[in-house]
């Protein structure tokens, strides 16, 4: 099981677990809250079949990665991603981020620029800025996020049960686009996450990514479920494409938050068309 060390907490190393499969141009997959790299299981085979090198990792605090009690902010997440990219020696890579992973794509561009980055895709992403402020009047009131933090702190297991109902729009899609067992599997992954990370990541959902998006100057695809109840499309994807020059938006009709699972065939088709067959032949290191 490969790991990369990204820091220390007291006497212990902070390590990220990652999987690195295939060859060709690298595609780095960044998962959403509160899942792990395994949430890309419907995308990795499609990428490998198309000739890409698929790299997926567990964010600190989640999955098989270390569970420190600090570093749960988008700047640190971008630093962790940068260290993984340097560790693997990637020089021609695409970044694909889901949900808060979309924020990490944006923040990576904001902190490190796009040198070496060939393309970017944001699926169900939290950019550009979800918090209601004087200069962002259409955002969500901070009290909503505080309420989520309190609910996770009080009983994260109960919170996850309700959260996944809206994560997958189970009242509409259960038995058609997702099974009860798949929802239960997501709950199990969430339950294994760090209690600290489960709470501390909530404020990252409303970080301001507007300046970061301005630096995202590579071809960018934005995919979003039109029926997303976690990150409403009007407040996120439809605004993001206006801030990234040349970005293209693909809306998944009736799609919930995690369209990468419920509408995998549709998402994979759009993602592979965007990445392009010619890129799959390129070297990644």
Catalytic residues: 99, 228, 257
Longest dimension (CA), the chain: 50
Helix axes 100-112 and 74-88, enclosed angle (nearest 10): 70
- Judged on CB neighbours under 10 Å (0-12, 13-18, 19+), 115 is exposed
d(CA 115, CA 99): 23
Contact 4, 84 (CB under 8 A): yes
How far apart are alpha carbons 137 and 115 in whole angstroms?
34
Locate tokens 């939290």: which residue? 126
Round to the nearest angstrom and report the end-to-end CA distance of the chain. 21
Report residue 227: phi and psi, to 5°. Answer: -110, 30
Residue 23: how many other CB atoms lie within 10 Å: 13
DSSP conformation letters of 26-93: EEEEEPPTT--GGGGTTTHHHHHHTTPEEEEEPPTTSTTS---SS--SHHHHHHHHHHHHHHHT-SSE
Phi, psi of 3 (to 5 degrees): -135, 155
């Amino acid at each position: 099981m490969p790991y990369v060390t990204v820091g220390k907490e007291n006497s212990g190393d902070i390590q990220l677990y990652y999987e690195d499969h295939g060859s060709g141009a690298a595609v780095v997959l960044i998962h959403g809250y509160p899942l792990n790299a395994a949430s890309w299981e419907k995308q990795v085979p499609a990428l490998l079949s198309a000739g890409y090198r698929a790299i997926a990792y567990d964010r600190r605090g989640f999955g098989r990665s270390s569970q420190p009690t600090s570093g749960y902010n988008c700047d640190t997440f971008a630093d962790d991603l940068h260290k993984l990219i340097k560790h693997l020696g990637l020089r021609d890579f695409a970044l694909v981020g889901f949900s808060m992973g979309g924020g990490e794509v944006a923040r990576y561009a904001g902190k490190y620029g796009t040198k070496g980055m060939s393309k970017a895709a944001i699926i169900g992403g939290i950019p550009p800025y979800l918090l209601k402020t004087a200069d962002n009047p259409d955002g969500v009131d901070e009290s909503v996020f505080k309420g989520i933090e309190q609910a996770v702190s009080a009983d994260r297991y109960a919170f996850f049960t309700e959260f996944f109902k809206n994560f997958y729009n189970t009242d509409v899609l259960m038995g058609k686009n997702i099974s009860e067992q798949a929802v239960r599997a997501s709950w199990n992954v969430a339950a294994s996450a760090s209690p600290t990370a489960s709470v501390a990541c909530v404020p990252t959902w409303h970080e301001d990514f507007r300046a970061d998006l301005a630096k995202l100057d590579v071809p960018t695809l934005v995919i979003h479920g039109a029926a997303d109840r976690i990150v409403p499309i009007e407040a996120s994807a439809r605004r993001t494409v206006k801030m990234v020059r040349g970005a293209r938006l693909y809306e998944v009709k009736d799609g919930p938050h995690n369209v990468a699972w419920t509408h995998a065939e549709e998402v994979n088709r759009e993602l592979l068309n965007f990445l392009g067959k010619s890129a799959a032949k390129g070297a990644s290191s």
